[in-house]
Structure 1
């Protein structure tokens, strides 16, 4: 059975968690929590001005950026993604040493084995109106025991339950072999607890 890891931005190593950016032309609006973006809404290439002195990480999921080397590794895992060339300018019109692309993972699935796991759904009373959540997957207030499904074949994907990117152990091993920069890996094991609000929600 595959092992899985939740992906987040690594702290340290000058990894920028967030930074001001300006895209030319502007990126289309989309909310990946609800659905993948429509690839037809995007331009064939972009320019981006980043309020940074330097940029050397290989992937920042929150900013939809990845190095060409990281994307090539993802292609080896047959990851379904949207990639678009982007020319980046840093402070003082400096250029990063790496080649970057707009990068949005389109592979997505439910990972939670609901029959074996222990969890609590968010109460309807604290959700947005029903008309606004018709296409959304269930929201989880807590997952105290997360058992992954055994039939998930993706090695990098957006996890519907966690609302985050998740990867397999073989993807993580390839990432580490390449000495890429930017990601922190948290294993989904018997000690893993998902509590986005820090406690149980009530209406």
Structure 2
């Protein structure tokens, strides 16, 4: 089994804010990232973002579709599939000193080996899966990754998370990419999104 990591935003209340409002000009096209990527032709060539926060230093803010030039450099290094556009950011009236981009990973993979995994299919999906031909899982108690996964950064369809390879994670750590945490998908990992409801 190839080692994969779930990539998550790790706020610190400073350069990686817990929450902030932002306004995009022009507006971003509507898209539901868990089920689709934006259509590139609907995106502007450049955006202006007004962010209600005093500071941003995190290299990837997935909830805001923002990534730094340094993070995109690692994506380039590993030939990852993604969609990006240049962004100018104003932070509470002051220009952000760093280069940021609209960013979404665009590769979507069914990366689970169903023969070696233990799971329960969701017979009554709560999320509209009409745009996806993939089955919806109520829970996955044992997740075995398919041997043929070669991508370094992608949307892992079965668990609705962005995942990366060990090499990608190691390079992010080596280059001190900030604002991210990495959780290994190992024998203890379980996907149980409805357990808290």
Q: TM-score range by the shorter chain?
A: over 0.9
Structure 1 runs (4+) deviating above 3 angstroms are: none
The residue that corresponds to 2:120 in the other structure is 120
Q: Does 1:38 align with 2:34?
A: no
Query: Per-residue displacement from partner, 1:92-135 (whole Å, max 9, x unpaired)?
Result: x11223110101111110111101001112122x546xxx5333
The residue that corresponds to 2:131 in the other structure is 135
Q: How many residues align?
A: 195
Is 1:6–1:187's contact at 8 Å kept on the other side of the alignment? yes
What 5-or-longer segments of structure 2 have no aligned partner?
A: none
Q: Scaled by the length of structure 2, what TM-score is found?
A: 0.93
The residue that corresponds to 2:160 in the other structure is 163
- After superposition, the CA RMSD in angstroms is 1.6
Shift in Å, 1:16: 2.0
Give matches, 1:95-110, under 5 Å. 95-110=95-110
3-state SS of paired residue (1:161): helix
Is 2:10–2:181's contact at 8 Å kept on the other side of the alignment? yes
Is 2:119–2:140's contact at 8 Å kept on the other side of the alignment? yes
The residue that corresponds to 1:182 in the other structure is 179
Q: Scaled by the length of structure 1, what TM-score is found?
A: 0.91
Q: Distance in 2 between matches of 1:138 and 1:170?
A: 29
Is 1:56–1:96's contact at 8 Å kept on the other side of the alignment? no
